[in-house]
Structure 1
Amino acid sequence: MKKSISGMAGLLLVTAGINVQAADLSVKGSIAPSSCSFTITSSVIDYGRLDPNTFSPTNYTKLAKKSSPYAIRCGAAAKAKIGIKVVDNRASSRIPGLMVSQFGTGYRDNYNYGLGTTSKGQKIGGYVIHMRNNVGDGKAAYVITNEGYGGTWDPRSTEALGHSTNLSSWRSGAAFTPGQFNTVTGNLEVQAIINKASELEMNTQINLDGHATLELRYL
């Protein structure tokens, strides 16, 4: 009799298992900023052929300012808080203190980009980058700079674009914090400085070789 009861209980359990239905549930999604594009109309700043006789043997020589339009465009449905981080790919060729000597104390070496070296390892010079005529969503936008990712934005902007730990962004109102935009446009202005002619072997061709990477960052 006990065996019969045990057998029936086992049968009931098996039957209950057969009748259970199951379905899987997945929870997905993404947390991501608005998708933005960053373009520079002409990403090559070309000074062409320069006459070596025009350079001073004892002083640095400023070349002309050259510029190219830039544009950052984000999705029309959502504004984004954005910034620019720059990497100097010719950092080893910088001349320390070059920009301070040319533009003043505000232009420390984190605003000084290298122009490469000659075939004999001589440092050719450097250049600065400024963001000019900036417009955010149809209104004037003002460059602000964070020099160490510390969360403090410096209102005393020269519009210079720095590298290393520098991060640059734009504000549109009175607050010195990055604004949110659908579109930011302006001009990237470059000015090169050539080393003293006495530091360079001028009887051979010297090719300016500045190279920097501008990265769009979401803040």
Structure 2
Amino acid sequence: MKLSPLALLGVLVAAAPAAFASSSAELTVKGTIKPGACTPSLGTGNVDFGTIAANTLNPDAHTALPVKNLNLSVACDANTRFALFSKDNQEGSATSPSDGSLRSEGRAHGLGWSTGEEPKKIGHYLVEIDPAQTTVDGSTGYASASTDGGETWGSAGSASYISPSELLGFSPESGHNEGPAPVKDLISVLNIKAHLAPSNELDLSADLTLNGSAVIELQYL
């Protein structure tokens, strides 16, 4: 995690009787001073799609489930540059999104595996920031994304996703490429878009449990 600014202090401790050759032991003391601590919140953090009838699944293509919403907020002690990303606790279990692009695959989170002798990927979900319901410090918020760890940024436009493969930051300015602005309060809505694998690829002889799990993290810039 990159934190700024960084306070670094080196202290040298030496003990040597005058009549003997000197010897020393080095002590390094490190610390971090943050411009303002930020606290993210996801409301309940739980998304439940309930019971899904197996005969409603498309046999040859992904089945999109109804979009679910979660309230997202980030509250900082002071104006702070930060970005959001996710860690998929079911890494490796996501099916490939229908468009097949590498960027879409990097944004997909897994829904876990089926049980049985040959476990199958159940599907995937995307975590989308709703641009129409995003504000920073009371003004309309615009997202910018970085796929290289924050080295370069570009406007996320209308496709703003929290994912393991990119950083997502915010600014009150639209169409910017300078990266996130210092923000004190972010308020938005997450659209959870889940897609189930084609039924021909699943063993539907027993119940399948959707078991998606991810952590949304905040990185100081």
Q: Distance in 1 between matches of 2:76 and 2:156?
A: 27
Q: Distance in 2 between matches of 1:29 and 1:86?
A: 26
* 1:33/1:218 contact within 8 Å kept: no
- Report the AA paired with residue 104 of structure 2: R
TM-score scaled by structure 2?
Answer: 0.78
The answer for the alignment partner of 2:60 in structure 1 is 58
**Unmatched tracts of structure 2, length 5 or more:** 1-29
Aligned length: 186
The answer for the alignment partner of 2:104 in structure 1 is 108
The 5-angstrom pairing of residues 67-146 of structure 1 reads: 67-75=69-77, 78-95=78-95, 97-101=96-100, 105=101, 107-120=103-116, 121-132=119-130, 133-146=133-146
**Unmatched tracts of structure 1, length 5 or more:** 1-27
Matched-pair identity in %? 24
* 1:99/1:107 contact within 8 Å kept: no
Deviations 1:131-158 (A, max 9, x none): 1111000001111110121511121431
Q: Distance in 2 between matches of 1:186 and 1:150?
A: 22
- Per the TM alignment, residue 188 of structure 1 is displaced from its structure 2 partner at its CA by 1.1
- Report the AA paired with residue 122 of structure 1: K
- The CA RMSD over aligned residues, in Å, is 2.0
Q: Which has the higher helix share?
A: 1
Runs (4+) of structure 1 moved beyond 3 Å? none
Q: Bigger radius of gyration, 1 or 2?
A: 1
Deviations 1:64-104 (A, max 9, x none): 110111111111xx211111121111111122x32525xxx
The answer for the alignment partner of 1:163 in structure 2 is 164
Q: Which has the higher strand share?
A: 2
- Per the TM alignment, residue 52 of structure 1 is displaced from its structure 2 partner at its CA by 0.6
* 1:100/1:106 contact within 8 Å kept: no
1:92 alignment partner, SS class: coil
TM-score scaled by structure 1?
Answer: 0.79
